[in-house]
Amino acid sequence: MTTAKWITLAAGTALALAAALQPSVADTSGKKIALSNNYAGNSWRQAMLKSWTKNGDAAVKAGVVAAADAFTTAENQVTEQAAQIQNMILQGYDAIVINAASPDALNGAVKEACDAGITVVSFDGIVTEPCAWRIAVNFKQMGKEEVIYLAKNMPEGGNLLEIRGLAGVFVDDEISAGIHEGAKENPQFKIVGSVHGDWAQDVSQKAVAGILPSLPEIAAVVTQGGDGYGAAQAFKAAGRPTPLIIMGNRQDELKWWKEQKDANGYKTMSVSIAPGVSTLAFWVAQQVLDGAEVPKDLTVPFLRVDQHDLEEKLAGTEVGGVANVEYSLDEAKKVIMGK
Amino acid sequence: MSSLMTPRLLRNLLPAISLTVLLLAIFYLQPRAMSYLGLNLLLNLALPIAFATLAQMCMMTVNDLDLGIGAYVGFVACIGATFLRDTPALGVLMLLACVAAYAALGALIHLRNLPSIVVTLGMSFVWLGLALLVLPTPGGKAPDWIRAIMTWKTPMLPFTIYASVGVALIVHIILMRSAYGAVLRGVGGNARSVERAGWSLLRAKVTMYALAGVFGIFSGLALIGLTTSADANIALRYTLLSIAGAILGGGEFVGGRISPIGAVIGATTLTLAGSFLSFLRISPDWQIGAQGGILIIVLALRILINRAEAK
């Protein structure tokens, strides 16, 4: 018992000494950063992982960090991701970047990581544990923006169909809350139906096709991204006039919009978060490791495509992908400084 | 005598051997794991899975299967992070009602002669719905005393190891060493003869279902002690993990053949398998397959041993 205590004490002293001997200016070239991602099953997540890998590999090659490994859990389950984070602690990563399966239920694992001296940065799916950094998107504002656009372009108002995301996920609640708030402020719009499209075109198409027969004339469809193209197909199959469908920056959505625009001057807008936000999270983690002062809560702007820049954004989006912006170190620093 | 004992002994030791091999492989890959902190990080999430596996094992004892245990554990976690913290008396009452519900399920399944798989699968949606009612969006906070227990820094080895060993031994004594335990297992082995001997089958089923409900509660509470807050979907994967854990630990789907110690070891092995694969840097796309591979290897070994036993 006492021997064990002595060993612990000696080890502790040695560690403290080692820490004191390190130069005060941090150098991140020896640091390892890991990405803990909970889900990879849609085009947005695929683009997000691709951005991470591209940016991370370049950073490793340039000697900015020693490693930038990405890990995705297979079943999108909280307990699985908690175990994954605990494994990363053991693997000796210096920073863990998280896209979380749940804002609260990973807090135990995140706390373990912080206690082990690891920098934790969460983005998109953020965690509420105070020791972690959060790169959040104002999803509520994003939903509201859709209705504001409609109010501007459809002053006479009309019936709205809402396509929601995955039930029980915080992002879905936020966007939907924003849409409903917008509809409340613009009473000429009435949400007459709401379905869950799970951010996937096929699911959305089925869901919309199922509810359409029971609905009156629809003026516009408010969406959350990854569901606009499916909704358009459902309207077409039912032989109903195509309403104004808000898009979500997916390549198939933008392409369909372009086709309609060329054929009959179809007007809409498209809004979503750039999957390249993973690269911002990477640089934030790197900056924290570097010793920079970074506020715990950061907000990223969403990426919006309008009638005039549709062609340009579509051209820059690969087939099956999502319109994207990737961050460089300097751009990330600007976001950190709040510019 | 000794040559006759060997296959059987081997069969009983197989879960422990698999665990040891896996643990050694992990220590080899990641020497950092060989410490108090390392063991704690590796094993703490195994405790709730071990409880869920014990719950599943209770059902298997009477030849039933619970496809709702994951959702049930999630529901318990949601109660734990809300009512149990804010109004402890009401929380405890709700948890007792959960156990009563499980006992009632056992009675229903026995009296109406329903297939347990169908009933429990149906109940899984009920549990999930109730969990969403209690906690529509993830959140809540685990009661401090649960958090304190689960993060208790015990001397020498992490708390989770003491707890696993303790629970395994207690359940072993109850089910494998007590007289009524033998009757309960007999229900799975040969229900008719147990009934002819004058034992109530209804009572046996209700007992085992209630016990499953109790272990489910332990699982949910242990889980929120680690995660600090709850989520209705928090434990959905426990359904399949618990079945795999019970089988890996030496249980059988029929015949009342169970092993409480094996079940705890099986649950731990499954948890470690995940860590092992991620230390090996196997792509997540392959991990589920690789986990299945580990299961198949262990079960194949068991069949080989069974054959040797038959000879």
Query: Which ipTM score applies to this complex?
Result: 0.84
Do A105 and A168 lie in a common domain?
A: no
Q: What is the mean pLDDT of residues A236-258?
A: 94
Q: Assess A173–B contact: CB distance below 8 Å, yes or no.
A: yes
Nearest CA in chain B to A84: B275
Question: Quick check: A78 and B233 CB within 8 A?
Answer: yes
Rounded Cα distance between A184 and B170, Å, is: 59
Tell me the residue range of the domain where A200 lies: 139-246
Question: Quick check: A90 and B38 CB within 8 A?
Answer: yes
Q: Residues 8 to 47 of A: which have CB under 8 A from any B CB?
A: 40
Strand partners, A35: A70, A97
Question: Quick check: B48 and A79 CB within 8 A?
Answer: yes
Q: Mind listing the pLDDT tens digit for each residue in A130-155?
A: 999 999 888 999 999 999 999 999 99
Whether A152 is in a domain gets the answer: yes
Asked if residue A230 lies in contact with residue A201, where contact means CB atoms within 8 angstroms, the answer is yes
Torsion, CA A187, CA A192, CA A194, CA A199, rounded to 10: -70
Q: Residues 51 to 110 of B: which have CB under 8 A from any A CB?
A: none
Q: Which CATH number fits the domain that encloses residue A296?
A: 3.40.50.2300
Q: Compare CB distances from B30 to A73, A79, A91 and report the shortest one's residue.
A: A91
Q: What is the pLDDT of residue A11?
A: 52
Q: Is the pLDDT of residue A95 over 80?
A: yes
Whether A318 is in a domain gets the answer: no
Please, which residues have CB within 8 angstroms of residue B7's CB and are 6 or more apart in sequence? B305, B306, B308, B309
Q: Residues 227 to 246 of B: which have CB under 8 A from any A CB?
A: 227-238
Rounded Cα distance between A229 and A247, Å, is: 8
Do A151 and A240 lie in a common domain?
A: yes
Of A204, A228, A246, which residue is a domain's last? A246
Q: Assess B289–A contact: CB distance below 8 Å, yes or no.
A: no
Q: Assess A49–B contact: CB distance below 8 Å, yes or no.
A: no
**DSSP secondary-structure letter at A123?**
E
pLDDT tens, chain B, 311 aa long = 445 557 778 888 889 999 999 999 999 998 888 899 899 999 989 999 999 999 999 999 999 999 999 999 999 999 999 999 999 999 999 999 999 999 999 999 999 999 999 999 999 999 999 999 998 878 889 999 999 999 889 999 999 999 999 999 999 999 999 999 999 999 998 899 999 999 999 999 999 999 999 999 999 999 999 999 898 888 988 999 999 999 988 888 888 889 999 999 999 998 898 888 888 887 766 777 877 888 888 888 888 888 887 77
CA angle, B4 then B7 then B8, to 5°: 85
The total domain count for chain A is 2
Do A42 and A119 lie in a common domain?
A: yes
Do A43 and A129 lie in a common domain?
A: yes
Query: Helix, strand or coil for residue B228?
Result: coil
Asked if residue B26 lies in contact with residue B42, where contact means CB atoms within 8 angstroms, the answer is yes
Nearest CA in chain B to A174: B137
Evaluated on CA atoms B50, B51, B56, B58, the torsion sign reads positive
- Model confidence at A273, pLDDT cuts 50, 70, 90, reads confident
Candidates A329, A322, A292, A293; CA nearest to A124 is A322
Strands A270-272 and A303-305 come out as antiparallel
Query: Helix, strand or coil for residue B303?
Result: helix
For chain B, domains (ranges, CATH) are 35-280 (1.10.3470)
Q: Is the pLDDT of residue A25 over 50?
A: no
Whether A310 is in a domain gets the answer: no
Whether A260 is in a domain gets the answer: no
Give chain B positions within 8 Å (CB) of A168: 132, 136-138, 232-233
Q: Assess A168–B contact: CB distance below 8 Å, yes or no.
A: yes
Do A164 and A242 lie in a common domain?
A: yes
Query: Where do runs of H (alpha helix) occur along A91-129?
Result: 107-115
Do A118 and A33 lie in a common domain?
A: yes
Q: Assess B31–A contact: CB distance below 8 Å, yes or no.
A: no
Q: Assess A306–B contact: CB distance below 8 Å, yes or no.
A: no
Q: Mind listing the pLDDT tens digit for each residue in B102-137?
A: 999 999 999 999 999 999 999 999 999 999 999 887
Give chain A positions within 8 Å (CB) of B30: 90-91
Do A241 and A156 lie in a common domain?
A: yes
Q: Assess A175–B contact: CB distance below 8 Å, yes or no.
A: no
Choose, out of B37, B49, B146, B227, the residue to mutate when testing the contact with A (most A CBs < 10 Å): B227
Whether A230 is in a domain gets the answer: yes
Do A90 and A126 lie in a common domain?
A: yes
Q: Assess A53–B contact: CB distance below 8 Å, yes or no.
A: no
pTM equals 0.81
End-to-end CA distance of chain B, in Å?
14
Do A188 and A97 lie in a common domain?
A: no
Give chain B positions within 8 Å (CB) of A86: 41-42, 44-45, 275
Kindly report the nearest CA distance between residue B95 and chain A, in angstroms.
21
Rounded Cα distance between A24 and A33, Å, is: 20
Q: Assess B153–A contact: CB distance below 8 Å, yes or no.
A: no
Q: Mind listing the pLDDT tens digit for each residue in A217-226?
A: 999 999 998 8
Strands A158-164 and A220-222 come out as parallel
Evaluated on CA atoms A42, A46, A47, A51, the torsion sign reads positive
Q: What is the pLDDT of residue A9?
A: 52
Rounded Cα distance between A137 and A270, Å, is: 16
Q: Compare CB distances from A74 to B136, B228, B288 and report the shortest one's residue.
A: B288
Cβ contacts of B197-205, under 8 Å, gap ≥ 24: B201/B110, B202/B107, B202/B110, B202/B111, B204/B62, B205/B62, B205/B64, B205/B106, B205/B107, B205/B109, B205/B110
Nearest CA in chain A to B236: A77
Give chain B positions within 8 Å (CB) of A108: 226-228
Do A203 and A223 lie in a common domain?
A: yes
Whether A268 is in a domain gets the answer: no
Question: Quick check: B32 and A90 CB within 8 A?
Answer: yes
Do A133 and A279 lie in a common domain?
A: yes
Please, which residues have CB within 8 angstroms of residue B74's CB and are 6 or more apart in sequence? B127, B128, B131, B220, B230, B231, B232, B233, B234, B235, B236
